[in-house]
Amino acid sequence: MSESIGEQASKNIVCLSKNLELEEYRTLIGFIAAACRYEVKHHVKQVLKRTSCFKLIAALFVTGDSERNTVILDTFMPILVRELKTSSKFSQSVHLINFLFSGDEELSKLTHEVCSLIKKKIGDDEYMNRVAMCQKNASEKITDRKRKIRELAVTAPEDAAELKRKKNKKKTEVRKRKLDEIKPYRAMKRRAAEQRKAQENEED
């Protein structure tokens, strides 16, 4: 999906959403949120879906009544708070230069703009309360996940070991990808080595 197609689709959705019943509207917002979560989980380095969805949500929030805006807040504040936290980590990291020249810059800026719009409309107190609640819920999920992992280590040590292995492998891949972004020649050298090895295997 290109950016222009995404923008046109967003305009159509804003127009059509005015005729939806509240439950239908809730379902619509749920689908939009699901698109964001899918991108975070499967294509975290891509930002087109989240960028398009955040713009759409901002447009819906501006034109929506209190009931519909509550639906948006309940569904999207956790996603927005996550992005705020992510962009904050980027800005404090040694990878800031890479971040500033990536699509993450646009997403970070857009996230702050959407949050500012929300804060202006609902007021500082409610906004801060919602942010605090999102942070609390996220922290509780992390704690619960860690507890389940500890329990798994007791009840099913082999499964726990496999889970840990996958987690460490993912961390290694993420670390390698970040280093490749900072030092592109690393990736070039590795690909060249892989090609040489593949050629040697073919010759054998």
Per residue in 143-195, pLDDT (tens digit) is: 998 898 888 888 888 887 888 888 888 778 777 766 766 777 766 777 777 77
Mark which of 116, 134, 155 sits at the end of a domain: 155
198-203 average pLDDT score: 69
What residue numbers bound the domain in which 187 lies?
156-204
Q: Are residues 185 and 108 part of one domain? A: no
C-alpha distances out from residue 13 to 7, 28, 52, 91, Å? 10, 9, 12, 33
Q: Are residues 175 and 78 part of one domain? A: no
Residue 48's pLDDT band, with cuts at 50, 70 and 90, is: confident
Q: Say how far apart CA 30 and CA 49 lie, in whole Å.
A: 14
Q: Are residues 84 and 25 part of one domain? A: yes
Mark which of 134, 155, 176 sits at the end of a domain: 155
Q: Are residues 97 and 195 part of one domain? A: no
Q: Are residues 202 and 177 part of one domain? A: yes
Cβ neighbourhood burial of 194 (10 Å; 0-12, 13-18, 19+): exposed
pLDDT digits (tens, 9 = 90+) for 116-128: 999 999 999 999 9
Mark which of 117, 136, 155 sits at the end of a domain: 155
Q: Are residues 143 and 169 part of one domain? A: no
The residues near 137 (Cβ < 8 Å, ≥ 6 apart) are 78
Cβ neighbourhood burial of 57 (10 Å; 0-12, 13-18, 19+): buried
Q: Are residues 164 and 79 part of one domain? A: no
Q: Are residues 129 and 82 part of one domain? A: yes
Q: Are residues 173 and 103 part of one domain? A: no
Q: Are residues 177 and 85 part of one domain? A: no
Give the predicted TM-score (pTM) of the model. 0.70
Q: Are residues 202 and 122 part of one domain? A: no
Q: Please tell me the total count of domains within the chain.
A: 2
Phi/psi region, residue 123 (left: phi>0; alpha: psi -120 to 50; beta: rest), is left
Q: Are residues 171 and 79 part of one domain? A: no
